[in-house]
C-alpha cells in the first residue's frame, strides 16, 4: 500500500506459504516468512520494519508514512506494535481455538483490542479522516492490512468482530480506508483470505472450521 501511495514501481511476487520457495528462504532465512522487501542487494523483513525503511529511504518521494513530530511518531509506533501483537494474536487465536471456551475468550480479546484502537483513532486522527490525518499513514496501513483477515475470521467463526455500536469511529474509518486507491489496488479479496484461513486451520492448527 505504501509503495503504491508513494508512486514507487515494484514487482510483486506472491508466495505459497505452505510450500515456501527457495527465493523466500534465501531472502528471509531467519523467520522464513512473508513479507520481504528486496531492494537491490538488501533484504528487509517484517511488515513494520519494511514500512519504516520505505519511509526513510524514500523520504522525499510521495507523502510521509510516519508523522514528523517525534512524540507522534512514538505513539504511532506504539499502537502499530499493539496491532501487530495483541490484535493480530487475538483474532488469529479465534481460528486456532480448539474449544468453544477458548474461542469465546479470543473473541472477547479481539473486541477489547478494537475498542482500545477506537480510542487511539480518536486521539491520533484529531478529527480527521485517518490515523495519519488527511492521508493514510503508518497506523492506517498497519490496521488496514488486517481488515480482510478480520472479515474472513468473522465468516469462518460466525462471530461479529467489527461492530458499529462498539467501535463507530473505526467503522467509519474502515469505509474511508477501503475507498482509497492504494487499498483497492493491494488488499486481497476476503474470499481468498477465508479460503487460506480454512486451509490454515486444517493443516497447521488441526481445527475443524465452522460451516
Tell me the pLDDT tens digit for each residue of 55-113: 999 999 999 999 999 999 999 999 999 999 999 999 999 999 999 999 999 999 999 99
Examine the domain organization and report whether 173 and 87 are in the same domain. Answer: yes
| Other C-beta atoms lying within 10 Å of the C-beta of residue 116 | 15
pLDDT for res 129? 97
Examine the domain organization and report whether 113 and 20 are in the same domain. Answer: no
- Using the predicted structure, report yes or no on whether residue 191 has a pLDDT greater than 70: yes
Examine the domain organization and report whether 108 and 49 are in the same domain. Answer: no
pLDDT band at residue 211 under the 50/70/90 scheme:
very low
- Give the cell for residue 62: 510521495
CA 65, CA 54: separation in Å to the nearest integer?
Answer: 8
What's the pTM?
0.92
Burial readout 30-53 (b: 16 or more C-beta within 10 A, e: otherwise) = eeeeeebbeeeeeebbbbeebbbb
- What domain range is 79 assigned to? 70-205
- Using the predicted structure, report yes or no on whether residue 207 has a pLDDT greater than 60: no
Note whether residue 20 is domain-resident. yes
Examine the domain organization and report whether 41 and 111 are in the same domain. Answer: no
Residue 133 phi, psi dihedral angles, 5° rounding: 100, -120
Examine the domain organization and report whether 44 and 78 are in the same domain. Answer: no
CB 129 within 8 A of CB 173: yes
- The per-type count for the chain, helices as H runs and strands as E runs, is 11, 2
pLDDT for res 105? 97
CA proximity to 121, closest of 87, 157, 94, 155: 87
pLDDT band at residue 17 under the 50/70/90 scheme:
confident
pLDDT for res 203? 76
Examine the domain organization and report whether 146 and 92 are in the same domain. Answer: yes
Examine the domain organization and report whether 89 and 181 are in the same domain. Answer: yes
Examine the domain organization and report whether 33 and 80 are in the same domain. Answer: no
Three-state DSSP at 189 gives: coil
Looking at residue 20, what DSSP letter applies? -
Burial readout 177-192 (b: 16 or more C-beta within 10 A, e: otherwise) = beebebbeebbeebee
Chain centre distance of CA 127: 23
Examine the domain organization and report whether 132 and 103 are in the same domain. Answer: yes
Examine the domain organization and report whether 114 and 173 are in the same domain. Answer: yes
Examine the domain organization and report whether 49 and 89 are in the same domain. Answer: no
Mean pLDDT of the chain: 94
Looking at residue 135, what DSSP letter applies? S
Domain total of the chain: 2
- Give the cell for residue 124: 491520533
Amino acid at each position: 500500500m505504501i509503495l503504491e501511495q508513494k508512486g514507487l514501481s515494484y514487482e510483486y511476487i506472491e508466495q505459497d506459504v505452505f510450500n515456501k520457495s527457495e527465493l523466500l528462504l534465501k531472502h528471509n532465512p531467519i523467520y522464513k516468512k512473508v513479507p520481504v522487501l528486496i531492494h537491490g542487494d538488501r533484504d528487509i523483513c517484517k511488515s513494520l520494519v519494511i514500512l519504516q525503511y520505505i519511509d526513510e529511504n524514500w523520504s522525499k518521494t510521495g507523502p510521509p508514512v510516519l508523522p514528523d513530530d517525534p512524540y507522534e511518531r512514538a505513539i504511532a509506533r506504539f499502537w502499530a506494535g499493539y496491532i501487530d501483537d495483541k490484535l493480530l494474536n487475538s483474532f488469529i487465536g479465534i481460528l486456532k481455538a480448539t474449544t468453544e471456551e477458548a474461542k469465546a475468550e479470543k473473541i472477547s480479546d479481539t473486541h477489547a483490542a478494537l475498542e482500545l484502537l477506537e480510542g487511539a483513532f480518536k486521539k491520533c486522527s484529531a478529527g480527521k479522516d485517518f490515523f495519519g490525518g488527511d492521508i493514510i499513514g503508518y497506523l492506517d496501513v498497519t490496521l488496514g492490512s488486517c481488515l480482510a483477515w478480520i472479515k474472513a475470521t468473522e465468516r469462518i467463526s460466525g462471530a461479529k468482530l467489527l461492530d458499529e455500536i462498539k467501535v463507530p469511529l473505526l467503522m467509519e474509518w474502515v469505509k474511508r480506508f477501503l475507498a482509497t486507491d492504494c487499498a483497492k489496488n493491494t488488499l486481497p479479496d476476503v474470499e481468498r483470505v477465508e479460503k487460506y484461513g480454512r486451509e490454515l486451520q486444517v493443516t497447521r492448527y488441526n481445527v475443524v472450521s465452522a460451516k
